[in-house]
Every structure is written in C-alpha cells, then in structure tokens.
C-alpha cells in the first residue's frame, strides 16, 4: 500500500508545510537524506500549547506529538517534490517535550509521533529516537520534533 493510501486510510490529510519563522529552512537534502527542521505541535486552530506535568496529560502530549509527525510528513512530501513514495525509511526522530522538572514520561509523549510514523510507513517507519525534556519551547508549544528521512 502506498504512503498516500495509508494516510487516506487513517483519515489524515497533510497540511501545507509551514514556512520557517526565523533564519532557517524547512528541510535540507544531503545525499539520500532529508533533514526536516523541528516542527512544533499545531493543528488547524494554531499552536498546541502547554506544559506536561502541569497543565497537560500524557495523552494530550502524545496527540501534540502526533500533530508534529503530520507536519514532518508534510515537509518530507515537499522535499520529495510531492511524492512521498520516495521515502524509503524514517531514520531518526528527536522529540522535545515542554515539561516540568519532575515529569518523566517524555518517551510516552513522543510515542504519539513514533506510533503514527509506523502506522503510515510500516516497518520503514521504525526509527532511532531521542525524547528529552525542555523547560520551554517556541510559542509555549507542548512538543517540537525534528526528523531524518532516507529517500530514493
């Protein structure tokens, strides 16, 4: 099944990738790797803000991470000239969780992105990963995640 078909089956429509808000680009292609800049948690209503361990549950954080994954796929699609079929695997995710000093469930939060990538990419979505805490993130968002994809 194609990646676009899996997305449709999951009821996911990729948004237009957001433009960078500072002096960087949305992605860089080097060799057969696409490095996608950090994508913040946002949905059709704007940024998903909050701090895990204070005003957000792990489940809400995982949904915020899932939204980051959707944005990562949108950037990857743009990098591939609109053809996600060029993605051969997800190499790595690095997830940052806006959380209190005593919050320890960052991996559970970033699973929201990891689970979506496996659902969309199958075995090619299994990846190396880091899930770390941050005392704050841009715009007060709950999660920011960057990614490295391998492409054909």
CATH number, domain with residue 111: 3.30.1330.40
Range of the domain at 14: 3-151
In three-state secondary structure terms, 29 is: strand
Rounded-to-integer distance, Cα 67 and Cα 138, Å: 16
Q: What is the pLDDT of residues 48-59, one digit of tens each?
A: 999 999 999 999
pLDDT of the residue at 151:
98
Against a cut of 0.85, is the pTM above it? Answer: yes
Query: What's the number of domains the chain is made of?
Result: 1
In three-state secondary structure terms, 108 is: helix
Rounded-to-integer distance, Cα 117 and Cα 100, Å: 27
Give the mean pLDDT of the chain: 97
């Amino acid at each position: 099944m194609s990646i676009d078909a899996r997305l449709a089956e999951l009821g996911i429509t990729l948004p237009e990738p957001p433009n960078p808000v500072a002096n960087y680009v949305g992605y860089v292609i080097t060799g057969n790797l696409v490095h996608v800049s950090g994508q913040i948690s946002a949905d059709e209503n704007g940024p998903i803000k909050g701090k895990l361990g204070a005003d957000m549950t792990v489940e809400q954080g995982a949904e915020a991470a899932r939204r980051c994954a959707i944005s990562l796929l949108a950037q990857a699609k743009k990098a591939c000239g609109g053809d996600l079929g060029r993605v051969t695997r997800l190499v790595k995710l690095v997830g940052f969780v806006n959380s209190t000093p005593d919050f320890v469930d960052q991996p559970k939060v970033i699973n929201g992105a990891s689970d979506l990538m496996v659902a969309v990419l199958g075995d090619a979505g299994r990846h190396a990963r880091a899930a770390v805490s941050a005392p704050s993130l841009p715009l007060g968002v709950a999660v920011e995640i960057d990614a490295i994809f391998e492409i054909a």
